[in-house]
Chains A and B, each alone.
Chain A
């Protein structure tokens, strides 16, 4: 409550919201806090406070409005909900990914259009083509489009002079460079954050717990899907159980057979990929030969149509070969679903990579050298345009044949097949491939993103319709979030890096066309920067830019140093990770140990409760036991000590008689004291039995003792409870050590449990300290005059031997002792002795147990 009041309004709102209470309770708390605040404020009422309060309220309202507005603006909110509701979050991943890529392309289009195309159009608005529009251009991208702003060739290398200078060369270069760099950074950051979230924290061992505790998709709303999911989950569970049972039974020939199938399918798929790559390469060369036979001027319609051959074949291969891969995948036997998916993904990536690699090789090494008269960049741009368009067509065909026809066959002809599943992995790879084409093409055809935007928009609705009409939800739901991370990673690693290196290679090493495009007349595209810097040198006041260029961008030493630093940082982080892993292992072990201790103590406690009526035998048994296991290690000793303490407590509460423990508290550990106390208690016990000849009296004394003990325990519990609450306030009573521990744990983003455990341990430590207090107090009691009085009382009682009087006497003695104890408590408390090192563990255990009980009760 106090914490809440002292917080700022924003934090306070958040804290209240995070309470896991019912709404009404939250409201009550909030009102209380607000009331408290207004009372406080009335004391120190100033116009400034009011103003700031109003301002913060205003900003908060603004924040709410913004949040609402953002949600309203969010693209396809309803559609996404519908898909998630019917097919679950793993299929939703595909659509999220599609949306994400679409945003990339919109950004790229806006940037390119406004920084490259608009200036050109302003400068020279009437770029007209010599060829008439014939319709086929939509597919080929050639003909009419060749000399439009669509391609590299149409851009000018001049500097605009409308009031301000605008260098089109530089604009072209920097726009694309900045876009690529921004893409890279975005990818790296989203990859890193999603990796951190989805991989680092994930525990690979907990599959069945995960399946049951966290995999249920609450957003699924359709009845059919729910039953389907239930069935799927049941099948999965059964399979995983039988797999676990079966794993050991696999014989050597079976293993060999499986291995052989794996090897075979890898070989075949690699051969397929290589075959595809080689055939595409020869096809390209053949097409090149055809082109070189063309005369100058406009190509005929047939010639133009011939250019469609390569994209057609490439897209066809991209459609068909993955089907073979899926077939292999069905033949192979995988121990778990994940490795199956990963194998499929790897093979597909391999295929796409080699196809794209061959095409790029062909463009870079043959097209770029071929025709000095023609604009080779535009030709590459056209080729990419065709690929993009054909890829789109084949994606549509794919969803028609793969999903619609398959559904018709599955539901009408072969009932056994059923509706097809939506293959998230394959579809996402298609998207990645499409996006890579757009990235490569951005240098050659700056407006390609516009085509891409259209393509993705249509694809989104197409896939949505196809999904809802034809498909059933995937039978197995993998970890959707992890798959998403892998997709982002794939998008980055082979594909984006490949695209950027091709664009980079083009800019650094290839000769731009001499007659067209913004870089005509230069040896390399990059020399545009050199020319610019040369121009800058003559200008005053731009020395810093030249210096940066000379000393940073162009110096190898700089990059070397940067690389070294990054490597160093990586190494440090690696070491940190290793250390933390070790730490986590240790902490886990500790939790297990504590759990064992806890259960042991609970057992013990239960036994004590059960054996209460026959306590004397029990105690003597304990006494006998205590001598044997002291050899068997520390933990036994701890237990013994615990027992001892309990006994000692009992004894002390009942008799309070003359146990004069050495008052040398500071040196002897609590453990020792406990042991001592116990021995004394035992002795006392024996004493007592020897001396108390009258059985009824001893019995009643015992029952009194029990009562007293219970009361003492109750007090203790209360005390602990209070303490616990007190310690919840982290600023008041947390020791430096535990804070450091916590901070470290938080830094390493270890799990909630760890922190909770840590917090509990902290509480335990505190509790331990408090226990020490109690003990000290006990010591004090025992050495105080109360002891003497109690002794007297008891002696008297023994002399007078009748049962009733003994009871009375003991009662009196106890009361006195309690009073004394209360006084002593007051004395001891302010001293607050230092925590007694290792022995605090035992006490902490007890305290924790009690805390646990408290918690359970509270819950």
Chain B
């Protein structure tokens, strides 16, 4: 399983094509970019992982406020350290590609926003989300009162069953009503 970092054989390539939304060029490009990140001494190891801090040096992810969450969500590492192997990396690109369905995109967006991994977006998650999106210095940040009001607004609008959290289906409901999402939830190498 997995690819050696130095080359991609043909069967592997077609398998990747079949299992992701990426085209051949995109996979090759991804592979190239990935190999550049792999440390020298590990380049021949099968299925090697890149640690999160290296992944985050990619310009596509570097300035993204959710970059760490993205790595953590797509990482299959057992220690949950956000390191990615090539399969994870392709998975990430596939979910963020143009042709991925709304279903997939919203699923991953939900997991990215679900900071505490408890399966729902509670007040705590939303607060973190707002902080990520507006982040900055302390003096310009939202006041606790504003934050509370904002989160109230979000919950009022999207929490359909009024249980105080936004679950996956409610989230997908909101997403399905905002056509921009598909075009903005996109990372292209």
Contacts and interface: CB of A to CB of B under 8 A. Distances in A.
* A, B: real partners: yes
A859 B88 CA distance: 19
Interface stretch (A205-213, A381-389, A628-636, A815-823): A205-213
A67 B174 contact: no
A75 interface: no
Given A20-B107, A213-B174, 9 more contacts: A17-B21, A203-B174, A209-B174, A216-B66, A234-B140, A237-B142, A594-B161, A752-B103, A753-B172
Interface in B18-45: 18-21, 23-26
A161 interface: no
A756 B107 CA distance: 14
Contacts of A217: 184
Contacts of B104: 18, 20
A218 B185 contact: yes
A355 B178 CA distance: 36
B179 A201 contact: yes
B180 interface: yes
Interface in A750-767: 751-754, 756-757
Contacts of B133: 212, 216, 230, 233
A596 interface: yes
B59 A221 contact: yes
B136 A231 contact: yes
A230 B178 CA distance: 20
| Smallest CB-CB A-B distances: 4 pairs | A595-B161, A753-B173, A859-B119, A234-B134
Given A20-B108, A206-B158, A752 B176 contact: yes
Contacts of B1: 24, 27
Interface string A1-19: 0000000000001001110
Interface in B149-189: 149-150, 153-154, 157-158, 160-163, 169-181, 183-188
A51 B150 CA distance: 60
A659 B58 CA distance: 70
A35 interface: no
Contacts of B177: 201-203, 206, 210, 751
A654 interface: no
A241 B161 contact: no
A25 to B, nearest CB: 9
A213 B101 contact: no
Contact of B65 (A26, A202, A230, A241): A230
B76 A22 contact: yes
Contact of A61 (B14, B25, B76): B14
User: Which of A27, A209, A219 is most buried by chain B, counting CB atoms within 10 A of its CB?
Assistant: A209
18 contacts: A13-B18, A22-B76, A22-B87, A22-B91, A24-B76, A210-B174, A213-B113, A214-B109, A218-B185, A218-B187, A226-B63, A226-B65, A230-B134, A244-B153, A479-B178, A598-B161, A751-B173, A752-B106
Contact of A223 (B14, B19, B63, B157): B63
A756 B172 contact: yes
Contacts of B153: 208-209, 244
A68 B99 CA distance: 12
Interface of A: 13, 16-18, 20, 22-24, 26-27, 30, 60-61, 64-65, 67-68, 71-72, 81, 88-89, 197-198, 201-203, 205-210, 212-223, 225-227, 230-231, 233-234, 237-238, 241, 244, 479-482, 588, 591-592, 594-596, 598-599, 751-754, 756-757, 856, 859
Contact of A212 (B18, B76, B126, B141): B126
A219 B134 contact: no
A23 B65 CA distance: 24
A388 B146 CA distance: 51
A69 to B, nearest CB: 9
Contact of A208 (B101, B154, B163): B154
Contacts of A64: 14, 17, 23-24
Contacts of A591: 160-161
Contact of B154 (A213, A599, A754): A213
A423 to B, nearest CB: 19
A72 B23 CA distance: 10
A790 B126 CA distance: 54
A24 B87 CA distance: 7
Given A216-B184, A241-B149, A751-B177, A588 B160 contact: yes
Contacts of B185: 214, 218
B130 A201 contact: no
A222 B59 CA distance: 8
Contact of A230 (B17, B101, B113, B136): B136
A17 B20 contact: yes
A220 B96 CA distance: 13
A481 B183 contact: yes
Interface of B: 1, 14-15, 17-21, 23-26, 59-60, 62-66, 74, 76, 87-88, 90-91, 96, 101, 103-104, 106-109, 113, 119, 126, 129-130, 133-136, 140-142, 146, 149-150, 153-154, 157-158, 160-163, 169-181, 183-188
Contacts of A757: 169
Nearest to A588: B160
Contact of A213 (B21, B107, B162, B171): B171
A219 B23 contact: no
A595 B165 CA distance: 11
A23 B20 contact: yes
Given A20-B108, A212-B133, A751-B173, A219 B180 contact: no
Contacts of B76: 22-24
Given A241-B146, A753-B170, A27 B19 contact: yes
A290 B66 CA distance: 67
Nearest to A71: B23
Contact of A209 (B88, B140, B158): B158
Contacts of B158: 206, 209, 213
A752 B63 contact: no
Contacts of A20: 103-104, 107-108
Given A89-B184, A218-B185, A598-B163, A210 B23 contact: no
Contacts of B160: 588, 591-592, 595, 753
A230 B157 contact: no
Contact of A234 (B142, B161, B187): B142
Contacts of B183: 89, 480-481
B103 A18 contact: yes
B169 A756 contact: yes
B163 A595 contact: yes
A479 to B, nearest CB: 6
Nearest to B14: A61
Contacts of B14: 61, 64
B175 A23 contact: no
Given A23-B19, A241-B149, A212 B129 contact: yes
Contact of A22 (B88, B150, B162): B88
Contacts of B146: 237-238, 241
B157 A205 contact: yes
Contacts of B66: 216, 218
Given A22-B91, A226-B65, A219 B184 contact: yes
B23 A68 contact: yes
A198 B180 CA distance: 8
B72 to A, nearest CB: 13
B99 to A, nearest CB: 8
A221 B163 CA distance: 36
A233 B19 contact: no
A167 B186 CA distance: 52
Contacts of A859: 119
A209 B23 contact: no
B71 to A, nearest CB: 13
B62 A221 contact: yes
Contacts of A225: 63
B181 to A, nearest CB: 4
B24 A23 contact: no
A219 to B, nearest CB: 5
B63 A230 contact: no
